[in-house]
Amino acid sequence: MAIRLKPTDLVVHGNRLLRLYSYYSLFLALLLLIGNTLDKQNSIVGGSNPSVFLTGATIYVIVAAVFAAVANRQPDPQVAISYVFLEIAILSALMYASGGLESGFSSLILIPVAVSNLLAPGVLGFGVAAWTTLSVFYTQNYWAEGELTYDLINSGLYGLLCFVIAGITQTLSRRLKSALSLATDQATRLRRLQHFSRQALLSLPNGIIACDKNDEILFFNNKAMEWFDLIEGENLPGLLNDAGGNTVIESGSDKLLLKRVPLNDSEPGDYLIYVENTEIISQEAQHVKLASLGRLTASIAHEIRNPLSALRQASQLLSETPELKEPEKQLTQIIEQQCMRINRTIEDVLSLSRRSQSALETLRLAPWLQHFAKQLRNATQGENYKLSILCPDDIQVRFDPGQLQQILHNLCTNGLRYAIKASEDRARLAIIATISDVNSIYLDIIDNGNGVAVEQRPHLFEPFYTTEHNGTGLGLFLCRELCEANHARIQYHPIPNGTCFRIIMKSA
C-alpha cells in the first residue's frame, strides 16, 4: 500500500522548510552546472565521467527549478518526498562521475536525508535512508569497476550513517515539534486571554486610560472615549494631565472622579487612570440605604400600622362627636391626614423592597396608550383638563405593562396636579411617542405647569426629596427604578412654560 502524505504531516514549520530547501537545491544545481562548465579540465568535479556529470547536472537544474516553483506556489509533502528520492539518485550519479565516496558529494547527499526526515513521518524518513543506501551501493559497486570488498564496506558504513542521521533527525524533530506545539498553544492561549481582557476592559461601566511616563496614551476603553476626546498614541488632554491622585472634574453634565494608580509590575512610569461617574456612585449608595430601609420598614411595618390604624379610627370617632367645635374637628382632620401620609410612605418603601422581577412583553404602544388614557380619565373624574396622545401606530416596545402603567400614572397625576395649580381652567397634559433611532423610543409626558426650579433639578430622582408638605418623595425615584428594571431610562427635560419627563426605552 502506498503511503500518502497530507499537508498536516509536515513536521516543524514544513512549508517554510520546503521553500528554503527548494532554494538550496536550485542554488546547488546551478553551482554544480556552472562549476562543471568553467572547469574545462574536470579537475574539481566530473573527473571520472564528465559526460555523466554534465547530463546529471543539467537534469538536476531542471528538476530543482520545477520543484522550487511548486514549493513556492503550493507546498505539497508528497511532491517534496518524491523530489528527495529523485535528487538522491541524481546526486549519487554525480558522486559516481566525480570519483565516488571519496569526493565531497557524500556529504551533500546527507543533507536531503536529514531534510526528508524533518519533513516526513518515521517510516518514510527511514525509507529515504534506505533508498540512499541502495543508490550509493549501486553506483559504487555496479557502475564503478573498483575493488568490490573495499567499496562494499564503505557503502555499508555510509548506509549505516544515513540510518543514524535519520534516527537522530527524527528524534530531534519530534522534540522540536513538541516544543513548538507547546509554544503555539501557549501563544494561542495568551492571545485569547489578551482578547478576553481587552473586551472586558472595553465594556467596563467605568473609564480606564493607560499611559506611560511621558503621558502618552497606550489604551482606553469605550466609556473613557465617551467622556473625553482621546487618541491612542497622543498625549493626555490637559484636563486629565493636570488632575491629581483623586480629583473630581466635570465632563458635560457628568461629574467624574479620577484616580491615578501607578503600575509597579510594568515599565517604569506607567500608570492607569480610573474614571468613575460620581452620580452612579451616589445612586449605588442610595440603593444600599434604601434596601436597608426597606428591610427595616418591612420588619416594623406591622408594629407601626396597628397603632396607626388605632389613631386614625380614634380620630374618625372623635370627629363624629357632636360636642366638638369646628376648630377641634379640623385638628382631627389633621391627625387623619398625617396618619394617611405615614401609611402611604410605608407602602411606597415596601413596594420598593418587594418589587417583583419585570416581565417584559412586546407592546403596541399606540393602542396601549389609548387604553391608559381611558383609565386615567376614570381615575381623575371631576378634574378639568385636556389630555392628548400622539403615537405612531407602528411603534412597539419591550416593557412590563403593569410597571409602565405605574410609571405613567405617577408622572401624569403629578403633572396634572401642577398643571391645574398653574392654570386651573387651561390645564393640559400630553403623551408623545417618537422614534429616535433604530433601537430607541422616546416617550414624553408633558404638562403646562410652572416647571421645576433649577436648584431642584439635580435632586428630582433622589428618594425622600419632595417640595410638598404631604408628599413622600418616592414617586420619581420609584419611576426611575422601574425604568431601569425594564432597561429604560427616565430624564427631566426643561421646556418653556411646562415640564417634560422623557422615558427612553428600547424598540421591540
Give the model's confidence band at 330: pLDDT under 50 very low, under 70 low, under 90 confident, else very high: confident
What pLDDT does residue 175 have? 83
Q: Which of 220-234, 315-329, 365-379 has the highest mean pLDDT?
A: 365-379
What pLDDT does residue 50 have? 83
Residue type, 413: T
For cell 391626614, what's the residue? 337
What does pTM read for this prediction? 0.45
* Integer Cα distance of 97 and 58 in angstroms: 14
pLDDT digits (tens, 9 = 90+) for 69-112: 888 887 676 778 888 888 888 888 888 888 777 777 778 888 88
* Integer Cα distance of 505 and 225 in angstroms: 24
Tell me what the pLDDT averaged over the chain comes to.
80
Residue 182: pLDDT over 90:
no
Residue 146: pLDDT over 60:
no
For cell 386615567, what's the residue? 376
pLDDT digits (tens, 9 = 90+) for 399-412: 988 889 889 988 99
Share of residues in the chain with pLDDT > 70 (%)? 85
Give the model's confidence band at 456: pLDDT under 50 very low, under 70 low, under 90 confident, else very high: confident
pLDDT digits (tens, 9 = 90+) for 196-218: 888 888 888 888 888 888 888 88
Which residues have CB under 8 Å from 351's CB, separation 6+? 478
Helix axes 50-73 and 14-38, enclosed angle (nearest 10): 150
What pLDDT does residue 13 have? 47
Mean pLDDT over residues 332-360, rounded?
73
What pLDDT does residue 346 have? 73
Q: How far is CA 53 from CA 36, 130, 138, 327, 369, in A?
A: 8, 24, 17, 134, 98
For cell 509536515, what's the residue? 10
| Cα angle 308, 291, 248; round to 5 | 130
CA nearest to 461, candidates 425, 406, 411: 411
What's the distance, Cα to Cα, between the start and end of the chain in Å?
A: 63
Give the model's confidence band at 488: pLDDT under 50 very low, under 70 low, under 90 confident, else very high: confident
* Integer Cα distance of 119 and 170 in angstroms: 9
Nine-digit cell string for 494: 426643561
DSSP reduced 3-state for 399: strand
Least confident stretch, 145-159, 228-242, 429-443: 145-159
What pLDDT does residue 5 have? 45
Give the DSSP letter of residue 499: E
Is the Cβ–Cβ distance between 52 and 97 less than 8 Å?
yes
